[in-house]
Amino acid sequence: MKSKAVAPSDTVHLVDCTLREGAQAPGIKFSAETTVEIAKALDGAGVAIVEAGHPCASDAEFERVERLVRLGLRAKVLAHARAVERDISAVARTGADAVGIFVGVNHISQTARLRRDEREILSMIDSSVRLARSHDLTVRLTIEDASRTEFAMLRRAYEVALNAGADRLCFADSVGVLSPVEVAAGIGELRSAFPQTPLEVHFHDDRGLAMANTLSAIAAGATHVSCSVNGIGERCGITDTAALAANLAYENIECGVRLSAVASLSGLVERVTACGPDARRPVTGRHAFSHTARLHVKAVERDPNAYQWMDPADLGYPVAGGAGA
Ligand code: HCA
Ligand code: CU
């Protein structure tokens, strides 16, 4: 029987990071032109926030983000920054609505990523959030590797960010190590600690659990989800925007994305990146809605629900055969 997720909120906001996290996938590079094409498609599909890129990385990256901002999309545009003045000023100069500041605070971040101690990192969080607010940017503060950060330390870092004026907190499972049971507990604990604060989750798929973790986080009260079309990102990528939209529709959770845009979004990113989803990938894979055994084919002819969880036509795939057609 189809069951509905126990979500405290029946609405979640998608933060599509195809143009930032996706640009970090091996072999993928977005030109200004393809950035514009993808951004327009995301906006047209109803994505709430488009994560554009990391403007401080290079002149070309700055121009790519600036061009996206100039489109004047309905979606809010967020650009990425380390917790340093240079990065945040670059985001402000692009005219983006929001900055996504990311910083790690656990031992491995102190020793391998930032080479600073906790006190120094907390001070970086404080000053970078204040600087961003002084530029009138909406601020998302992400703790990188939050999943391997002791709760008390995580809480201290988030408190500093909120006191400095951050608008939203983000919990990143940067290495993709969590399981849904751990996510339910961890996000539940954060929700209790910061009940009024919008909370985003960012799950990498290294254990193949990004989607499961995302649904678990939503059930535990996450309000925003980082995702990318076809799941592209570092290593195994992150939660797939297309599959997430389909899953949320199935669970009756509103995310603003038109379900019928799923096929074209996935196809566009496949074309631009010259890299399609695996044939067996849920929702967007070539075989996701194809039926082979005679018994199955016959049953589906009589009633498509016999061997399908969803009608591929609702996702924008030409029927019959859906994604596999
Ligand atoms: C990265 C890190 C990040 C940041 C996520 C965020 C992660 O690849 O630079 O800023 O919300 O997974 O921690 O993608
Ligand atoms: Cu990431």
Whole-model pTM: value is 0.95
In this structure, is the dihedral angle defined by the CA atoms of residues 255, 258, 260 and 265, taken in order, positive or negative?
A: negative
Is any atom of ligand 1 closer than 6 Å to the C-beta of 170?
yes
Ligand nearest to the CA of residue 225, numbered in listed order: 1
Ligand 1 atom nearest the C-alpha of 102 is 10
Query: Using CA atoms, how far apart are residues 89 and 128, in angstroms rounded to an integer?
Result: 10
List residues, by chain if needed, whose CB lies under 5 Å from ion ligand 2.
Answer: 21
Active-site positions read 296
pLDDT score of 173 more than 50: yes
- For ligand 1, whether the C-beta of 174 sits within 6 Å is yes
Note the pLDDT of residue 7: 44
Class level of CATH domain 13-273: alpha beta
| Residue 136 burial (10 A CB sphere; 0-12, 13-18, 19+) | exposed
In the prediction, which pLDDT does 10 show?
82
**Which pLDDT score is estimated for 15?**
98
Task: Please state the atom number of ligand 1 nearest to the C-alpha of residue 54.
Answer: 9
CA dist 89 and 173 (Å) reads 27
Predicted local distance difference test score (pLDDT) of residue 320: 55
pLDDT confidence band for 210 (50 / 70 / 90): very high
What amino acid is encoded at 223 in this protein? T
* Average pLDDT along the chain: 95
In the block, tokens 């489109």 appear at 71
Question: For 71-116, what is each residue's pLDDT tens digit?
Answer: 999 999 999 999 999 999 999 999 999 999 999 999 999 999 999 9
Q: What percent of the chain has pLDDT over 70?
A: 95
What residue segments make up the domains of the chain, in order of their start?
13-273, 294-324
| Ligand 1 atom closest to residue 144's alpha carbon, by position in its atom list | 13
Determine if ligand 1 sits within 6 Å of the CB of residue 102.
Answer: yes
Is any atom of ligand 1 closer than 6 Å to the C-beta of 100?
yes
